[in-house]
Amino acid sequence: MTNAQIAKIFGEIADLLELKGESPFRIRAYRRAAMNVEAMPKDLSTLGEEELTAIPGIGRDLAGKIRQYAQTGRVDLYEELKNEVPAGLLSILRIPGVGPKTARMLFDKRNVKSIEELEALAREKKLSGLPGIQEKTEENILKGIEQVKKGRERFSLGMGLPVARNLLRLLQESDPRGKFALAGSIRRWRETIKDIDILAAGKRPENIAKAFVRLSAVKEVLEQGTTKCSVLTPEGIQVDLRVVEESSFGAALQYFTGSKAHNIKLREMASRRGWKINEYGLFRESDGKRIAGREEEEIYSALGLPWIPPELREDAGEIEAALEGKLPGLLELADIRGDLHAHTRWSDGSHELDDLVAAAKARGYRYLAVTDHSKGLGIAHGLDENRVREQIARIDAANRKLSDFRILKGIEVDIRGDGALDLDDEVLSRLDIVVASIHSGFRQGKERITNRLLSAVRNPFVSVIAHPTGRLIGERDPYEADLEAVFREAARRGIAMEINANPMRLDLSDRHARMAKQVGIPLVVSTDVHITANLDYMEYGVGVARRGWIGKGDVLNTLGTAALLKRLAAMRHTERPDRKRKSR
């Protein structure tokens, strides 16, 4: 069993309950359980009841369902609900903007039972005029369907990487003397993947191949040979294994890591020297003599290049930079000194402050910013001005007891539809860090969204713009905004942009992170913690940063505590003429 599987079932139970019009509290309980289960680093099937019920949102009832799935591969309630709700309605809920009420109405009024049926009706303009559906709604539905189709073709890194690492672990256990490595887009930390590539080398290739197709994490064998195998996992991800000789392992690792465009550039460099390069090694054309291949570094060295980190291998100027000795020193996970975006039970987090602090300290952090939601996000039990003041007092009291750790007083303040912030400046001025973000009005026009972001950037107390494009990978496209204009203003005012490390967001993207660096914007890499296990998402954010050519000096939360607080205070500079202005 994988945690992703039970999380998917709990999420779909919530959807099915919502389609039936059940209690919102029960629906919310399953959604919370799905989120928390997916974030857990341990395989739930290995946990006892006490450990399961210690997970926030998992009581004895849900723990029983987890055990039932681990033992039987099914959850009775899930199967019962699927029989009670028309088949196909669940798939329609995957379309952005189509909620349970709309899906049920479409079934009742037009007998829509599948995405394909809905698409046909929308293209024929037979939906407009139904309750809540106008011509623009039809257009949005068609855009959403295209997005769902794209999502079927690729998987998020957050889904693929745990699956890949589990397979790698199982392979290593099956052959402790074998050599194994991830390759392909996962090794380059692409935000989405089409499949998983694993490379292997060992004394008996046929045994490695046989062990691979028999792994417990394999659902179906697509192809089986002595040096190449393909399988499907229960998540529906194709995994390709290639077994090579140890003398070719480095060359194969470079070749199968890619990208294609990067490899073409290397082949051109080799060809100009009278060499050829492939998955078996680097060879002299004239007599076939091997020049390099055992180690990946040998390939680059022979071509007169330093080793290029996999995250940069996209033919985005990395080879030219390497030839000029200008490859950047990239951010490392060990450089991160703390997390600057975290939620407690004061809003929609799952833990008390002490639990979050303990988890952060366990990861070697020196500080943590508590940034609960503001009052406008009612569904998240956001804080009003009085509750912010109360939390400030609690944090001050907690800090007096800490000698080697600092809790930063913060808020994730909502940027309203008119650009005003959700809390007044008097309260914001009391905080160490103010993270501003958009949580509604995603379909507003480009000019309006841009102006909302610009308004937040110009507020004298805002420190960071969180998840700046609002996307959810595979579920919601970025909202339309002139990021270049926002970045220019942020650079002028010294405001930071967030790389949100939640693997469903990864927002900023690598491309936008690189753009932000180029205009001089400081960055933060944060995990948007709602459960302590979310702290482990930091590696995803670091992966995005590395793909964006980001180094340690570009990221604020690589600073020590005193230096960070000084930098945050400096963001409130006197250039801003509206310093004493009150938000509307």
**Domain residue limits, the chain:** 3-153, 156-244, 250-323, 333-570
Q: How many CB atoms lie within 10 A of CB 401?
A: 8
pLDDT at 578: 43
CA nearest to 148, candidates 68, 210, 64, 91: 91
Distance CA 8, CA 75 (A): 12
CB-based contact 2:163 (threshold 8 Å): yes
Distance CA 325, CA 255 (A): 23
CB-based contact 253:277 (threshold 8 Å): no
Distance CA 559, CA 537 (A): 19
How would you classify the pairing of strands 464-465 and 290-292?
Answer: unpaired
CB-based contact 154:193 (threshold 8 Å): yes
In the numeric block, which tokens belong to residue 274? Answer: 């009278």
CA nearest to 171, candidates 199, 211, 118, 221: 211
pLDDT tens, 84-142? Answer: 888 788 888 888 778 888 888 888 888 888 889 999 999 998 888 888 888 888 888 88
Q: How many CB atoms lie within 10 A of CB 71?
A: 10
Residues 6+ positions from 49 with CB-CB distance below 8 Å: 60, 63, 67
b/e sequence 28-67, b meaning 16+ C-beta within 10 Å:
ebbbbbbbbbbbbeeebeebeeeebbebbbbeeebbebbb
Stretches in the chain below the pLDDT threshold 70: 1, 151-152, 573-584
Distance CA 96, CA 445 (A): 17
Residues 6+ positions from 529 with CB-CB distance below 8 Å: 339, 341, 342, 343, 349, 356, 535
Inter-axis angle of helices 483-493 and 446-458, to 10 degrees? 10
Q: Indicate if the alpha-carbon torsion angle 482, 483, 488, 492 is positive or negative.
A: positive
b/e sequence 554-580, b meaning 16+ C-beta within 10 Å:
bbbbbbeeeebbeebeebbeeeeeeee
Q: 333-570 adopts what CATH topology?
A: TIM Barrel (3.20.20)
CA nearest to 249, candidates 215, 210, 191, 208: 208
Distance CA 155, CA 158 (A): 8
The number of CA neighbours under 13 Å toward the Cβ of 75 is: 23
pTM of the model: 0.87
CA nearest to 166, candidates 180, 179, 154, 152: 180
Residue type, 523: L
The alpha carbons of the chain give a radius of gyration, in whole angstroms, of 26
Q: How many CB atoms lie within 10 A of CB 364?
A: 10
pLDDT tens, 542-582? Answer: 999 999 999 999 999 999 999 999 999 998 853 444 434 44
CA nearest to 96, candidates 159, 150, 17, 174: 150
| CATH architecture, domain 3-153 | Orthogonal Bundle (1.10)
Residue type, 117: E
Q: Given this structure, which CATH class describes domain 250-323?
A: alpha beta
CATH 3.30.460.10 fits 156-244, yes or no: yes
CA 480 vs CA 139, 447, 496: distances in Å:
16, 8, 20
Report the helix count and the strand count for the chain, using DSSP H and E: 24, 17
Tokens 């309950």, residue located: 17
CA nearest to 512, candidates 465, 553, 575, 581: 465
The number of CA neighbours under 13 Å toward the Cβ of 265 is: 18
